[in-house]
Amino acid sequence: MYRTHTCGELRSSDIGKQVTLAGWVQYIREKGAVSWIVLRDRYGVTQLVFEEGRSQASVLEQLKGIGRECVLQVKGAVVERYSKNSEQETGAIEILVDTLNLLNPSSTPPFTIEEETDGGEDIRMKYRYLDLRRPTLRRNLALRYQVNRAVRNYLDTQGFWDIETPFLIKSTPEGARDFVVPSRMNEGEFYALPQSPQTFKQLLMVSGYDRYYQIVKCFRDEDLRADRQPEFTQIDCEMAFVEQEDVLNTFEGLFKHVFKEVKGIELTDAFPRMTWDDAMWHYGNDKPDIRFGMKLQNLKVDGDYKFEQLKKVDFKLFSEAQSIIGIVAKDAAEWTRKQLDELTEWVKRPQIGMGGLVNLKCNKDGSFKSSVDKFFTPVQLQELASFCAASANDLVLFVAGNEALTRKAASELRLHLGNQLGLRQPNEYAPLWVVDFPLLEETEVEGHWAARHHPFTAPKPEHIALMDDKTQYKNIKANAYDIVLNGTEIGGGSIRIFQRDLQEKMFAALGMSKEEAQEKFGFLLGAFEYGAPPHGGIAFGFDRLCALLGGQETIRDFIAFPKNNSGRDVMLDAPSAIDALQKKELGL
Amino acid sequence: MYRTHTCGELRSSDIGKQVTLAGWVQYIREKGAVSWIVLRDRYGVTQLVFEEGRSQASVLEQLKGIGRECVLQVKGAVVERYSKNSEQETGAIEILVDTLNLLNPSSTPPFTIEEETDGGEDIRMKYRYLDLRRPTLRRNLALRYQVNRAVRNYLDTQGFWDIETPFLIKSTPEGARDFVVPSRMNEGEFYALPQSPQTFKQLLMVSGYDRYYQIVKCFRDEDLRADRQPEFTQIDCEMAFVEQEDVLNTFEGLFKHVFKEVKGIELTDAFPRMTWDDAMWHYGNDKPDIRFGMKLQNLKVDGDYKFEQLKKVDFKLFSEAQSIIGIVAKDAAEWTRKQLDELTEWVKRPQIGMGGLVNLKCNKDGSFKSSVDKFFTPVQLQELASFCAASANDLVLFVAGNEALTRKAASELRLHLGNQLGLRQPNEYAPLWVVDFPLLEETEVEGHWAARHHPFTAPKPEHIALMDDKTQYKNIKANAYDIVLNGTEIGGGSIRIFQRDLQEKMFAALGMSKEEAQEKFGFLLGAFEYGAPPHGGIAFGFDRLCALLGGQETIRDFIAFPKNNSGRDVMLDAPSAIDALQKKELGL
């Protein structure tokens, strides 16, 4: 061993000991006859001291060749520091070095290796091995390991077995594109990399393994959005002989365990549950941030007036709109004209796409003032405020237009106002189960339906009969559920189909012919013939969960070696050309 | 939940309880008015009882539709069994069923789902989900999870972090072929699947992560031998600031922990260490089974007589042979002519390739008898026996010929004799470290050298100078080590090169041009410029380790969904053709 202690270990109680440390030079400081080096490793930092008179001349001479990020091994005595640093765990001591061994020199790094670096994204990706030295990345990967460990420990207590599923599987593209792998031994044929171990975990239930999990890489060849990776990690779980309630309870337990172990936070209350219908109605999306209220006020939905009095108002924007939704911003009646103009511009951005924003100020004196005063009588304004449950000093904002667009806009506006009003506190955690998702959703091609979750999700038992009537597809709800934290979906799952005939009906609903179903999923249909138990499960986005627990938005810095937005590893320079012989052997 | 208890849970103390169980019908037995079903799940089996008079007529009626492997939910009372089964954990009780719910019927399985099945390999691979129900596979996967858990728990206590490395990397074929993945977003370019995370774990050491591990899938596109898989699992570990001794001690600890946790065996002694030279000299291979002695007796090696007296013997087979090796079989002097003939045939098989086998019987009366008596005087025979340390009643066997072939044959013969003499007890575990491997080995192309372990392995410091002289390559030893258990290599590793110039020298020794080295491994050479610490590690074949701990030879039944010898998943029917659009998008 190159060391007797790590750089995070020594304390006052070690004073007088002879120790050996090894690590990286964080920085060097000189003041007259004294030099200090702060030596760093995974465990912390320790200060080394060199002083004329106290240190050997040869050691002082060696110091001249030492720069940042050099790797040193030093031997010396633990001594008390003159000026202690209470913010450093080792801040009470320093090492009076008597032997210095330069294990490896370092060129000057292309960016500073500190909490805040001067390196841009590109250079840091290229020199990822240096970026990973920065404290923020080290903390992120430490947290990731902690989460990993907490998940495994909890699932072990619950009787789950980690069972590995294959990576070289069959290509059955469905929604997302598969990455494929040409087979040399079976020329002209291809494996696919799994988008998830879905069918394998179901087979394991059929095989009687009862409770399965994996923390496993999955692959999707999609055009990458800012925060997507072609390879990502899933906490993948499945249980047999369970109903939805059992799955929710088991994984609510997982969540509480992880929060306690990793964040020290006890989430004592049961997580609220909300139907998908309610989530869409009250929040305009299926992953509501429930750290704050501000529910949407549905005045008109799909042409149907919920606030009857509006029918009498001759205001074209409202009367022509399919839907009208209001939001009450508490105590914001006194927002300035400038603030309101900015909000209007905000909803008019292409990402939101609204034509404009109507406001209604509920003044403290009981009067009302609106941007569209002339279309309303004072009584009507009062009734409108009252319908929206607005109080004196509140501001009500209205968007109107096409139902889907307006609901989405209202949802975004709610989050935006939540941010402006400081209602989205990063240290507050509001988990939520969203349940009763629709089984199917119509695709862009009219009359074509896709699985909302995936084709293995079971309809609610009472809705199975609706599977025979295409006009009823939109009304079929599934035993499917998402777990949402602070407005971000971090996991989702469902109770699965476990009967061959129902699975065939589902494939047919998705427009798959019998032959196609058999060719792609014959093994699963076959398995359902030999005693498949009822089962269900869930999968969590591990990268996303870690980022959320780390209080950050992007997943990239919670992955040791991520790809960039073009799916490239710029450090390795991959993907890259392969040689002609390799191609020939693969029959490409 | 479909059950209140599992099928492995109920005991006498539960008699009188109302319970609900769910599981598979293992078998049904009828005797007059009584029927029994043995219900099975992951946790065990429980007997259900149905009897005219005691059970409702409707339940008895339902029984008629129930066959093997049907999935049932049953409710009833725990009652005492008339005839108890002490071999079943639940053998003291049975369930008097009052409600029977057929959750899913089952067709008749294509083979019996029992410890010993009537199904051949092919059909069991096709219906892997049924084969996985058999107790032997369930035990294997349970053991695999236990090993997984024990490894993770130990490494956690030692400060290792599980850090995921990427699967879509750069193709740098070296020895084995890479599986490649065409990139859609970067047309004409390919990712490769990792043969191991070797360079990434080294980069993590450069990044200061100090102790890393993963239980991770690796991929090699090799022609498959009987017991190889194109995707396999590795326990992959790396440590910084360590010397060989630290690595050996750390992972000897891992082994001991796993043996204790999984097998209940305390391996108290330090594992013996043997140099590669000694292993080859005394055992004829680099993974000796040291459960028994029978070391090779080197009479002549590479033309050099170690037993001088042989020079005087005019026996052509010996005098013309490059090497002569003897093996002493204890107390086997009285083996029959038939047994000796069989041994001779055994060494003459093409797999061994010897021309014949010379024997020397050391009779109990002190006389000697050899198959080649006429070439030796009685005194010479005695001296020969004495050189080989044979005693009265021993049998000495000799093989002679080309050095490499003869050594290999002697090694195989030793193992064969060990089996015949009952010296290789499956419940005895003899772990061993083999150390000081050669750094390089000459390939089939004369003058071309390959890395014995891999190109990142460090030569012993005292041998670094030899790197400058190609004639010395064969004498360079590496800080490389294997862990061997009962004659099987289950892990190997090395101290790594961490200096750019030495790494470049190594690449050059392997015949790689500067440009090629830069193109393939520029990122690693770059990393070594910015303060790389000394580091080393090890990787274990997880599938193999599990098979050994499970007392079995083949890894396939320790993998949930293995491929066959053609690299096919016959259950999925993968690999398979992909559609033209998919190919076009990938530019293939």
Nearest-CB residue to B145 (from A163, A527, A529)? A163
Name all domains of chain B by residue range, CATH numbers in brackets: 12-104 (2.40.50.140), 138-274+430-559 (3.30.930.10), 292-420 (3.30.1360.30)
Closest CA to B240 of B486, B527, B1: B527
Q: Are B170 and A576 in contact (CB under 8 A)?
A: yes
Nearest-CB residue to A180 (from B186, B189, B582)? B582
Looking at chain A, the number of H-run helices and the number of E-run strands are: 15, 23
Query: What digits encode the pLDDT tens for the residues A126-136?
Result: 999 999 999 99
Contact state of A69 with B531 under an 8 Å Cβ cutoff: yes
**pLDDT(B197) > 80:** yes
Nearest-CB residue to A3 (from B241, B526, B532)? B241
Tell me if chain B has a CB within 8 Å of the CB of A145: yes
**pLDDT(A174) > 80:** no
For residue A161, the distance in angstroms to the closest alpha carbon of chain B comes to 6
Tell me if chain A has a CB within 8 Å of the CB of B532: yes
Identify the residue among B39, B129, B152 best suited for mutation to test binding to A, counting A beta carbons within 10 A and taking the highest: B129
**pLDDT(A224) > 80:** no
Query: What digits encode the pLDDT tens for the residues B147-196?
Result: 999 999 999 999 999 999 999 999 887 678 999 999 999 989 999 999 99
Q: Which phi and psi angles does A90 have, rounded to 5°?
A: -100, 20
Residues of B with Cβ-Cβ distance to A526 under 8 angstroms: 127
Give pLDDT, residue A154.
Answer: 98
CA A32, A34, A35, A40 dihedral sign is negative
Percent of chain A having pLDDT more than 70?
A: 99
Q: What would the DSSP string read from start to end of B31-81?
A: ETTEEEEEEEETTEEEEEEEEBTTB-HHHHHHGGG--TT-EEEEEEEEEE-
One-letter amino acid identity for B274? Answer: M
Length of chain A: 588
Mean pLDDT on A263-283: 97
Tokens 């293992």 sit on residue: B26
| Cα-trace Rg, chain A | 30
3-state secondary structure labels for all residues of B405-440: HHHHHHHHHHHHHHHHCCCCCCCCCCEEEEECCECE
Q: What is the rounded distance in angstroms from the CA atom of residue A94 to the CA atom of residue A73?
A: 15
**Cis omega before residue B575 (within 30°)?**
yes
CA B185 to chain centre: 39
Q: What is the rounded distance in angstroms from the CA atom of residue B347 to the CA atom of residue B284?
A: 15
Q: Can you name the residues that pair with B41 across neighbouring β-strands? A: B44
Output the average pLDDT for chain B. Answer: 95
Mean pLDDT on A23-31: 96
Query: What digits encode the pLDDT tens for the residues B341-365?
Result: 999 999 999 999 999 999 999 999 9
Q: Are B222 and B177 in contact (CB under 8 A)?
A: yes
Tell me if chain A has a CB within 8 Å of the CB of B70: yes
Instruction: Give the pLDDT band (50/70/90) at residue A172.
Output: confident
One-letter amino acid identity for B529? Answer: E
For residue B185, the distance in angstroms to the closest alpha carbon of chain A comes to 7
**pLDDT(B463) > 80:** yes
Contact state of A563 with B141 under an 8 Å Cβ cutoff: no
Give pLDDT, residue A94.
Answer: 97
Contact state of B1 with A70 under an 8 Å Cβ cutoff: no
Q: What is the rounded distance in angstroms from the CA atom of residue B542 to the CA atom of residue B492?
A: 12
Nearest CA in chain B to A499: B104
Give pLDDT, residue A426.
Answer: 85
Percent of chain B having pLDDT more than 90?
A: 91
Q: How far is CA A497 from CA A170, A494, A505, in A?
A: 21, 9, 10
Q: Which phi and psi angles does A463 have, rounded to 5°?
A: -105, 0
Mean pLDDT on B79-101: 95
CA A8 to chain centre: 31
Q: What is the rounded distance in angstroms from the CA atom of residue A290 to the CA atom of residue B19?
A: 40
Instruction: Give the pLDDT band (50/70/90) at residue A587.
Output: confident
Q: Are A401 and A318 in contact (CB under 8 A)?
A: no
Mean pLDDT on B310-316: 91
Query: What digits encode the pLDDT tens for the residues A292-302?
Result: 999 999 999 99
The DSSP output letter for B90 is T
Instruction: Please give the torsion angle defined by the CA atoms of residues A502, A504, A509 and A512, in that order, rounded to the nearest 10 degrees.
Output: 170
Residues of A with Cβ-Cβ distance to B253 under 8 angstroms: none
Nearest CA in chain A to B567: A185
Q: Are A64 and A111 in contact (CB under 8 A)?
A: no
Tell me if chain B has a CB within 8 Å of the CB of A169: yes
Nearest-CB residue to B243 (from A1, A40, A223)? A1
Q: What is the rounded distance in angstroms from the CA atom of residue B451 to the CA atom of residue B431?
A: 25
Mean pLDDT on A232-237: 98
Output the average pLDDT for chain A. Answer: 95
Instruction: Give the pLDDT band (50/70/90) at residue A457.
Output: very high
Q: Are B221 and B178 in contact (CB under 8 A)?
A: yes
Residues of B with Cβ-Cβ distance to A201 under 8 angstroms: none
Q: What is the rounded distance in angstroms from the CA atom of residue A526 to the CA atom of residue A519?
A: 11
Tell me if chain A has a CB within 8 Å of the CB of B166: yes
* Cβ neighbours of residue A412 closer than 8 Å, sequence gap 6 or more: A284, A351, A352
- CB pairs < 8 Å spanning A and B: 334
Nearest CA in chain B to A210: B42
The DSSP output letter for B182 is E
Nearest CA in chain A to B577: A189
Q: How far is CA A106 from CA A110, A137, A586, B518, B530, in A?
A: 11, 21, 42, 19, 4
Identify the residue among B181, B193, B198 best suited for mutation to test binding to A, counting A beta carbons within 10 A and taking the highest: B181
Residues of A with Cβ-Cβ distance to B164 under 8 angstroms: 217, 233, 559-560
Q: How far is CA A509 from CA A449, A455, A499, A501, A536, in A?
A: 7, 10, 15, 12, 21
* Cβ neighbours of residue B466 closer than 8 Å, sequence gap 6 or more: B459, B472, B473, B475, B476
One-letter amino acid identity for B327? Answer: I
Q: What is the rounded distance in angstroms from the CA atom of residue A311 to the CA atom of residue A313?
A: 6
Identify the residue among B160, B207, B501 best suited for mutation to test binding to A, counting A beta carbons within 10 A and taking the highest: B207
Give pLDDT, residue B307.
Answer: 94
**pLDDT(B455) > 80:** yes
Q: State how beta strands A431-435 and A273-275 pair.
A: parallel
**pLDDT(A570) > 90:** yes
Q: What is the rounded distance in angstroms from the CA atom of residue A102 to the CA atom of residue A91?
A: 24
Mean pLDDT on B477-481: 97
Nearest-CB residue to B70 (from A148, A192, A531)? A531
Angle formed at CA A32 by CA A31 and CA A34, multiple of 5 degrees:
65
Closest CA to A505 of A473, A535, A475, A532: A473
| Residue B346 falls in which region: left (phi positive, over 0), alpha (psi -120 to 50) or beta | alpha
Tell me if chain A has a CB within 8 Å of the CB of B104: yes
Nearest CA in chain A to B111: A530
* Cβ neighbours of residue B108 closer than 8 Å, sequence gap 6 or more: B67, B68
Nearest-CB residue to B180 (from A149, A161, A578)? A578
